[in-house]
Amino acid sequence: MFEVQDIMSSPVHTISTEKSVFQAASYMKKLGFGGLPVIDNEKLVGIITSSDIYFSHPNRLVADSMTKKVIYCSPADIIWDVVTQMTKYNIKRLPVVNKGHLVGLLTKSIVTKYMGNQYDPLTSIHNSIYIYQLANRLITEGHEISVILFDINNFGHINKEYGHVYGDKCIKNIAEIISKHINNDCDFLCRYGGDEFVIVSLRKVNDASKLVQSVVAAVKKESIEMGKPLSISAGVCGGQRKHARKSANKVIENLINKASLASTKAKRIGKEYLLCVDS
């Protein structure tokens, strides 16, 4: 779910240029919409919103009252980019156009729902949907990334021994600890799954491993303060990737998978973390 066509609403309610403002207002009221794309000869020529209607005589043609300079996007645009533009320019409705034809609409409510789906409700940090999009973006832009995967040791045992409420508290604590240690300019954190956290980082692998060390140490300290066992293992993966721009998604999946396997192996052999460097 990276492209606009995955979340846009379609088909779209529209109005034609020869309708009056009064007719447009009635139609919008009936639909409960705050705006409508305007179509002429099957092409998008404008958008009429409640504020256009407010300032226009009801007898006017839609053609004379619509906003003619329409910002639009294409179905294959990356949602991330489009949402950024919508937020920046306070756009409430963004038509989706393919070869001049209106094929969908992106509204603020769709975007809000989509953005909400990118957060983990327990920890309030992002979830894996976000991290996949972000990593895709970074790789497409030509950045080299490292992936760190943290995994709570014996989490099943913690849940059974101390209860699930305590288990949730551990997850929250870990999320807070990692959040405090990352640099928001180059490290991007998410709760990947149950007791797994992923950082996509612009750091080189060796620098990323330093971050891992500091997080592992902080969790140890937290465990001592809590008086209960809590520790994490980590896998770090990164390196040069040829032709990465062409298959960003596969690269991300591959990196996360390798980091996950490295974390499992680290746990198995009793290490705090393992590095996995691709060449």
Partner 1 sequence: MNSIIEDRGSRKADINIRFSDFDLPPMQDVLLIGRRAAIGPEAVRRMVDALAPGQYEVIEMENGHIEAIAVKVELFNWVKRERLVDMILEEVNMFTCEKSLIKAKLSITISITREVDI
Write out the residues near partner 1 by the rule CB under 8 A. Answer: 17-18, 55-57, 59-61, 63-65
Question: Smallest gap, in angstroms, from Cβ of residue 51 to partner 1?
Answer: 13
- At position 221, the amino acid (one-letter code) is K
Closest CA to 106 of 31, 47, 151: 47
Nearer to partner 1, 41 or 279 (CB): 41
Nearer to partner 1, 22 or 33 (CB): 22
Nearer to partner 1, 53 or 252 (CB): 53
Nearer to partner 1, 60 or 220 (CB): 60
Question: Smallest gap, in angstroms, from Cβ of residue 94 to partner 1?
Answer: 24
Question: Smallest gap, in angstroms, from Cβ of residue 26 to partner 1?
Answer: 17
Closest CA to 242 of 195, 202, 196, 279: 279
Question: Smallest gap, in angstroms, from Cβ of residue 58 to partner 1?
Answer: 8
Nearer to partner 1, 24 or 189 (CB): 24
What does the angle CA 71 – CA 188 – CA 275 come to, to the nearest 5 degrees?
Answer: 140
Nearer to partner 1, 9 or 20 (CB): 20
Question: Smallest gap, in angstroms, from Cβ of residue 54 to partner 1?
Answer: 11
Question: Smallest gap, in angstroms, from Cβ of residue 12 to partner 1?
Answer: 22
Nearer to partner 1, 3 or 64 (CB): 64
Question: Smallest gap, in angstroms, from Cβ of residue 22 to partner 1?
Answer: 11
Q: What phi and psi values does residue 260 have, to the nearest 5 degrees? A: -65, -45
